[in-house]
Amino acid sequence: MKTLVGIDNTGNYEAALNLLSRLAFDDLQLEAVHVNDSNILHGKRSFGFASSAEIARMDQDDSLILGAEMTAKALGFATTRETLFGSPPKMMVEHANRLKADIVAIGSRRRSKFNSSLFGSVGRALTISGKESLLIAKGTVPATGPISVVLTTDHSKYSDRAIKRLIAMSPNGIGRLVLLTAFDKKLVSGMPKEHQQPFLQFLEKQSKKKARQLKDAGYPVEYRLWEGDLGEVVEAQMDESNAELLIMGAQGHGYSDRLLIGSSALKQVVSSRHSILLLRP
């Protein structure tokens, strides 16, 4: 499975490497990528046009990405490395598409849910324009131990495909998985009364079905149906289950789609202290 890891100057990438190590995907092929955003010619080095300061910057970049490669190898990853030149958001998106990566992984500093920044420029570009699944590791992530996750589903076809994609990716390091469905009280109350109970029964039935599918794949799964705003419900469930990672489909046509298009609930989720894996089937 091709995985591209963005190597930043501040060392946030280490959290992404630790999270990848703990998730323990099968057959992971890792490429460490750093983007130099200086004003030298993009794409290839040309020392004839580069200033001494730019040459020094490239030497620093070499040391940075070599250090990242050594960190990755210490975690057991076979790693290649690449340095690109240009706008980091643009180059990361284009390189991931060109590489046909399965996952792009980056690290990010933890932000409060009131912070207006959404992942930072690179994460935002990968979220909006990327075609690959995206792993964003927030803050400091321990290097070892099973990981507890919350997986959201709205039971749409896209969400079903996302769950199948997760199973196919085969993360072996999940120690607990909570399958979460949030439903809007206003949506239910706005239905004809004769439809309200069948709708809730439908959610229960579908949750049991998905939980059984995940259990058959070897995951210790339990499901939850919570009433309320999706962003608030996710935060509450992450805290209750002491989960480190939120997993959700990156787009769709139900609650998750409305969340990921840019609602205030999305900003609360992605700007929180929790790491996130956006699945793109």
Q: How far apart are the first and last CA of the chain?
A: 14
Q: Which domains does the chain have, with CATH numbers?
A: 2-138 (3.40.50.620), 147-279 (3.40.50.620)
* CB-based contact 75:30 (threshold 8 Å): no
Q: Mind listing the pLDDT tens digit of every residue in the chain (281 residues)?
A: 999 999 998 899 999 999 999 999 988 999 999 998 875 544 444 445 556 766 666 777 788 888 999 999 999 998 999 989 888 889 999 999 999 999 999 998 754 443 334 346 788 788 778 889 999 998 899 999 999 999 999 888 888 999 999 999 999 999 999 999 988 777 777 788 888 888 889 899 999 999 999 999 999 999 999 888 777 888 899 999 999 999 988 764 444 444 443 444 345 556 667 899 989 88
Q: Residue 274 gets which letter from DSSP?
A: S
Q: Is 27 left (phi over 0), alpha (psi -120 to 50) or beta?
A: left
Report residue 166 as tokens: 């997760």
* Residue 120 β-bridge partners: none
Record the pTM.
Answer: 0.85
- Nearest one of 27, 276, 43, 32 to 138, comparing CA atoms: 276
Q: How many CB atoms lie within 10 A of CB 196?
A: 14
Report residue 149 as tokens: 């996750």
